[in-house]
Structure formats: structure tokens, C-alpha cells
Structure 1
Amino acid sequence: MRLELHSHPATPPAQPFAVWANAEASAAFGESATLNLWFGVGAPADRFRIAAPSDDPQRRDGLWRTTCFEAFLRDEAGAAYREWNFAPSGDWAAYDFSARREGMAQAAVASAPYLRVEDNLTWWGLGATIAIPSERRFALGLTAVIEEADGTISYWALAHGGEKPDFHDPACFVARLP
């Protein structure tokens, strides 16, 4: 399913461009399933500050300070959620929260996400594949922090809930994964 992301009104891009995402959960294999995410940016990659691919991608904090894509998965049965961060360099992060911005901890992740970047000259994108529990239903928030070459940073989400960008706002968790 293609989902349009919207820039927060307080942080518009310097020049208009589109941001979209696709999310598809695979069939379950025992207790796990795979979630395939694709984020697209409708402008040439050279308009943006994009970290070069790393030969040794790692788990890193602070990826949201520049171009980064994120997925928030909240179990529909509660307030706890997981935040995933994906950088074009291949670096990533995962955090668990017990409630909105509460109880933040490094998420126990069995394997790093599989990340890939594609540049098609007129648009570019990042793909991420992660393992998710198969027995749960999730509310999903898909977001992006996009830094342009001139330093302009815009914050994109499926929906925004407040006067300032806050991807942890429950208003951002608008998609559903069966």
C-alpha cells in the first residue's frame, strides 16, 4: 500500500517535493513475520544531505539529526511501541517505549534490519526489512526527517498532531498492520 507522508506545517521544505512510503507484512513463519518498508523522495538525491553508504553499518543513536526514515510500531492492545530509525548510510537504531516518550530503552533486536538505497536520478528511496512478531496487530507510524543541501530540515509523517513535529504523538500512528 502506498502511503503519502506530509511535511509538518512548521517545517516546510525549501523547495516542494513528495515523500511516500509502502509497508507490506509477509506471511508469518512461526512467531515472526517480515515487514518490508520502502520510503521514496520525489526529487533528485543531490538536492539532499544523504550519508554515504557505510562499509560497516552499525546501530547508532542520533540518526534523526539529519536525513533518516523511521517506523513506529505500537501494539494495538496497549501503549508500548518500538521506534526504528534507518539512515541511508545503512546505520540503524531501535528503541522500545512503555508509553508516549516514556521508558525508552535500546530494543533487543535479534538481527539488524536489511537496508538498501536506490537512486533513480529523478527520485531516490530507502528500503528496510525488519522482523516483527506475527501474532500481534500494529498501529504504524511512518516518518522521515529530510535535510536538504542548503540545511533546511523538514519533518514528514502520515499525520501530525501538534504545533511542533513529534513523531511519538499518537496522531502519527494512523496505518494498520494485520
Structure 2
Amino acid sequence: MPTLALMAHPASAVPAHWRVEVQLELSADALRLHYRFYAADLRLPAAVTENAALRADDLWQHTCAELFVASGDDDAYREFNFSPSGQWAAYDFERYRQRAAALPAIAAPRIAVGARGGPGAELTEMTVLLPLAALPDTAYGPRSVGLTAVLEAADGLLSYWALTHPERTPNFHQRAGFALPL
């Protein structure tokens, strides 16, 4: 699949040389996402020392990649967060920003980080292997996805990246941002 470029939200102050690219590959049993963060002085969360990826909340407050998936015209959607630390999260929403009471019971994705960033580093790569069963089914029609990322600079400032930004302020939950058919 081709490389997709995420754009920084116009309200995000980012260095001109920063960029984010994503590649998706859908197989019979998994969705593979390969993120490339080209960003010198990118602040990364510390790697989790456990063998298994741990589920955690509030990952979006630091550098992380996100995936939003909807099925057809259904109001419901699922949000995934993937951290370079190895942590992850998944949430179901019944409609726009209305979170379901229960967390989805899904298998943990596999997250691998290549060249880790830090002071002076230019590239951080993160590959996520998400079991296909973790995605919403296609009962309401074909899936559409929103590819997004939050990057934290060394000074703590956050920038918001997506394929498209349908609003004047960063808002990854806006359905118009789920612009890519899967």
C-alpha cells in the first residue's frame, strides 16, 4: 500500500522539517500499520519493560499514534491508541464522543519500535500489528479509518497530525476525518 502523509493541524506549531508517514497493509488476519515520525527532538515515553504490551489510558497526552475505525453509516466507532512505549488502548464509542461503558475485549496488538528518537534523532519508526478481529465488523458497510498521531516535542508542546483536519481545532473524533476506506 502507498505511503500516506499525515498533516499537522494548522493550529499546531511544529518545525517545518517534521513530518509523519503511515503505511497500512490489510491481510486475512491482521492490519499492519507502519508509522514513521520524522522529528528531531521528539519526546518519547519510556519503553515498557514487561514482555506483553500493556493497556493504558491517556496515551494521547504524549507521543502516540491513533486509529479510528467506523463501519458504513453506523454512528458507532472504535478508537485505538498505540504508544512507542508498547502500551495501547482501545475504546468503543456509541456515537460522536459518547464512549461505551465497557472497554472492547480484544487481543493486544503487537507494537515494535525501530529507531527510537531522542535529542538529535531524526526518525522514529513504529509498527503495529492489530488482529483483524479487533476491528469493528462490516455489518453496516465497508470500514473507513482516520489515521492520526500526537507528537510531543522536547519542550512538552503537542502537535496533532491527521490525513485531514475537518475542524478549526484538532478533533480526531470528527467523522469527516475518517477519510480512508479500508
Q: TM-score range by the shorter chain?
A: 0.7 to 0.9
Question: Cα 1:21–1:72, aligned 2, differ >3 Å: closer, same or farther?
Answer: same
The answer on 1:152 being equivalent to 2:146 is: no
Instruction: Extract unaligned runs of 5+ from structure 2.
Output: none
Q: Deviations over 1:129-160 (max 9, x none)?
A: 11224862210101000001022210000100
Task: Structure 1: state its 5+ residue gaps.
Answer: 28-32
| Residue pair 2:42, 2:154 contacting (<8 A) in 1 also | yes
Q: For the residues of structure 2 that align with 1:176 and 1:67, how far apart are their CA atoms?
A: 25
TM-score normalised to structure 2 length: 0.86
Give the equivalent residue in structure 2 for 1:39: 35
Shift of 1:15: 4.7
Matched, 1:10 2:18: no
1:49 aligned residue (38, 43, 50): 43
Contact 2:91–2:99 (Cα < 8 Å) also in 1? no
Q: Distance in 2 between matches of 1:98 and 1:132?
A: 20
> Secondary structure of 1:64's partner?
helix
Correspondence list, 1:120-159, <5 A: 122-133=122-133, 136=138, 137-159=142-164
State TM-score, norm by structure 1.
Answer: 0.88
- Give the share of equivalent positions with the same residue, in percent: 37
**1:22-62 CA-partner distances (Å, limit 9, x unpaired):** 111102xxxxx311011111234xx1110121112411110
Q: State how far apart, in whole Å, the 2-side matches of 1:106 and 1:61 are.
A: 14
The one-character-per-residue Cα deviations of 1:106-147 (angstroms, maximum 9, x if unpaired) are 432331110011117531111111122486221010100000
| Secondary structure of the corresponding residue to residue 171 of structure 1 | helix
Runs of 4+ in 1 over 6 A off after TM superposition: none
Match of residue 117 from structure 1 = 113
For 2:17 and 2:179, the matched residues in 1 are separated by: 24
Q: What is the match of residue 58 of structure 2?
A: 62
Name the Cα RMSD after superposition: 1.8
Write the distance in 2 (CA, Å) between the matches of 1:54 and 1:164.
Answer: 32
The answer for the alignment partner of 2:76 in structure 1 is 80
